[in-house]
């Protein structure tokens, strides 16, 4: 898929993100997370993570942004944590636990990414990266790399 098609997909998903139906907004968040690197997508994704109408939208969008375990998704989540009310923050935290609670290596990779985001030019991303880093450091994953003896 070329850049033009990716921009067209984001444009269509921005429209869906504006729906009155929470299910449409959640679908938009999940789908748009795959296009988080396309200009204009991050602002809409941030709005969906902070959705004022339904925390289901918050939770589904946050999980979708975290699953690729990349700096773009983690930056949106970090910025959202700074602006989130306690209810949305709780749902974001639950998504962080779900995504990073199994494999220690994935949690550790996300920790390194958050450490790098701590120098981001965006003040809100820097502040949120600290909050996200605290969340990640509290996780005791289920599976650790096998140690050779």
Could you tell me if residue 147 is inside a domain? Answer: no
Could you tell me if residue 62 is inside a domain? Answer: yes
Q: What is the pLDDT of residue 149?
A: 43
Distance CA 26, CA 123 (A): 27
Alpha-carbon dihedral angle through residues 138, 142, 147, 149, given to the nearest 10 degrees? 110
Tell me what percent of the residues of the chain surpass a pLDDT of 90.
95
Single out the residue of 100, 61, 97 nearest to residue 77, CA to CA. Answer: 61
Res. 31: pLDDT tops 90: yes
Alpha-carbon dihedral angle through residues 4, 25, 86, 63, given to the nearest 10 degrees? -60
Domain harbouring 45, CATH code = 1.25.10
Could you tell me if residue 44 is inside a domain? Answer: yes
Q: What does the pLDDT average to over 68-73?
A: 96
Q: What is the pLDDT of residue 36?
A: 97
Q: What does the pLDDT average to over 7-23?
A: 97
Residue environment code for 58-84, b if the CB has 16+ CB neighbours within 10 A, otherwise e: bbbbbbbbbbebebbbbbbbbbbbbeb
Summary mean pLDDT of the chain: 95
Q: What is the pLDDT of residue 147?
A: 59
For 15, 78, 113, the CA distances from 83, given in Å and listed in that order, are 23, 9, 20
| Number of domain units in the chain | 1
Could you tell me if residue 145 is inside a domain? Answer: no
Residue-number span of the structural domain to which 73 is assigned: 3-138
Residue 139's φ and ψ, nearest 5 degrees, are -80, 130
Q: What is the pLDDT of residue 146?
A: 72
Tell me what percent of the residues of the chain surpass a pLDDT of 70.
98
Distance of CA 80 to the CA centre of its chain: 8
Distance CA 39, CA 29 (A): 15
């Amino acid at each position: 898929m070329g850049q033009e098609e990716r921009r067209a997909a984001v444009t269509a998903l921005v429209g869906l993100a504006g729906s009155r139906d929470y299910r449409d907004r959640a679908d938009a968040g999940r789908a748009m997370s795959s296009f988080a690197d396309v200009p204009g997508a991050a602002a809409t994704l941030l709005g969906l993570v902070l959705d004022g109408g339904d925390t289901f939208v918050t939770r589904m969008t946050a999980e979708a942004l975290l699953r690729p375990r990349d700096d773009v998704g983690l930056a949106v989540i970090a910025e959202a944590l700074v602006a989130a009310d306690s209810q949305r923050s709780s749902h974001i935290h639950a998504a962080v636990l779900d995504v990073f609670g199994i494999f220690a290596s994935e949690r550790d990779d996300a920790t390194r990414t958050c450490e790098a985001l701590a120098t981001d030019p965006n003040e809100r991303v820097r502040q949120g990266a600290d909050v996200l880093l605290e969340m990640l450091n509290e996780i005791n994953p289920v599976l650790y790399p096998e140690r050779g003896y």
